[in-house]
Amino acid sequence: MLTRTPDAERFVPTKPPAHSHLPLWRLFLGEAGRNPIVGVADEAYDEPYICRQLPGRRYIAVQDPESIRRILLDNQANYIRPRFLHRLLPLISKGLFAAEGAPWKTQRRVMAPVFTPAHVAEFMPIFQDVGRAAADRWASHAPAVHDVARTATRATFQVISRSLFSGEDALSGEEAEQHVAVALAAAGRPRISTILGLSHLDPGSAANRRSQAFLKDRVGAFVARRQTMSDPPSDFMGRLIEAFSADHAPEEVAELALHNALTFLVAGHETTANALAWTFYLLSEQPQAQAWCAEEARAALKPGASPSEVLDGLVYLRWVLEEAMRLYPPAPRMEREAAADDQLGPIPVKKGDLVGVWPWVVHRHRALWDDPDAFNPENFTPEAKAQHHRFQYIPFGGGPRICIGAQFATAEALLIAAEWLARYEFTPAPGHTVEVASDVALRPKGGLPLVVTPRRG
């Protein structure tokens, strides 16, 4: 079994400074309002539960894995998406991400075949093509400083466009990326006005409405074209429209297809792009770990190897990716609303209470991890993983609503990373300090400039 130890010096990657308990108003204004993880009090990393009183309801932050299991699995039907989520992201409110009950079950059943291991394997050559194309573009400007986070975002947009939407122009490009970013930023701000149903008073609400209108027009036109095609492509959207058409009127099919196209456009690229960016940040700061990953990638990418064979050879790189998603989970927070009274450990939950499960906190909790803020890929050796509670590592959620695209995203990130590491060395850009920005996702604030240098040999 492969066993490697990272650089001898303990490396603690960037994170916001810890603080004592913040007053409620500080969570909605100032830096914590723009960057929610800044509002996490230091006590959350020690305590299993934190309760705060909001206007008209409580907010219960849960860090105990057994209670997380109850929220996400054992009693998951009682913990629904909060109603204010539909106001934040109205264009995906009827899609798989936000649907509840029977509509969610129907959509999950329709989409599940697209994300089976066999179907994910069909997409893997696209992952490699996109990764190689990005590496080829660096070749003409290397060594040089490149924004690896930006490159990762463009690459994952291309993957989604080609894999799920047959290269549809309306669902790719810089303009669409920018509007997705605006919508995500608005959705991730825990403003009190949103909770009270007054989101139109938020300073960024006008920009958010413009971005949502742009995306609705672009994606809606794409769906309408697909519905009129006599022989549409047999891709994800084609299968989705066909499946919905069996039980829904054309206008309902259009709405469901629109919401799910946007769901996968947003979630399908953003999670993987950020996982890639944080992986390369960590490796740029740990030369020995990067060298091991590069060696492994070059060995796996031997002539004639299938994408699945390449994946099988990326053992240590997979540990690094999993550790990157521990330290910087693609979705740093999950909120639920209690549909009925319940009990979480010693905490009584009342109908209407908001319940928060923050992977950002759970993945750094001092009772669950040794040296939790340090970079250590060996947290994910088979022996170490066997000691984990199933619900202490939840980068893709858990239970029936675990991210349907988790295997897709993991394979995509690993194959793209292998293409880049086999050809280039990545080192920190002089003078740049990496910081964490958070909304619905976690990303390096202002991008991730790294020095990209061709490897020798």
Tens digits of residue pLDDT in 324-336: 999 999 889 999 9
142 vs 282 pLDDT, higher one: 282
Residues 6+ apart with CB under 8 A from 263: 92, 95, 96, 97
Residue 236 predicted with pLDDT over 50: yes
Assign residue 423 a region: left if phi > 0, alpha if psi is -120 to 50, beta otherwise? Answer: alpha
Q: Are strands 354-357 and 57-62 parallel, antiparallel or unpaired?
A: parallel
Q: Where are the alpha helices (DSSP H) in 337-405?
A: 359-362, 382-385
> What are the angstrom distances between the C-alpha of 335 and each of 61, 190, 331?
9, 11, 11
Across 442-449, average pLDDT: 95
- Residue 100 binned pLDDT confidence (cut-offs 50, 70, 90): confident
pLDDT of the residue at 167? 74
Residues 45-71 have a mean pLDDT of 94
Does the pLDDT at position 211 exceed 80?
no
Q: Are strands 57-62 and 144-147 parallel, antiparallel or unpaired?
A: unpaired
Task: Kindly indicate whether the domain formed by 24-454 is annotated with CATH number 1.10.10.1110.
Answer: no
Share of the chain above pLDDT 90, in %: 55
Question: How many residues are listed for the chain in this entry?
Answer: 457
Per domain, the residue ranges of the chain are 24-454
Residue 191 reports pLDDT greater than 60: no
How far apart are the two ends of the chain, measured CA to CA in Å?
27
Exposure of 431 in the CB half-sphere (CA atoms within 13 A): 1
* C-beta neighbour count of 437 within 10 angstroms: 18
Q: Which residue has the higher pLDDT, 368 or 100?
A: 368
Q: Which two tokens stand for residue 112?
A: 């599940």
Contact in structure between 301 and 419 (CB atoms under 8 Å): yes
Q: What are phi and psi of 449, to 5 degrees?
A: -70, 125
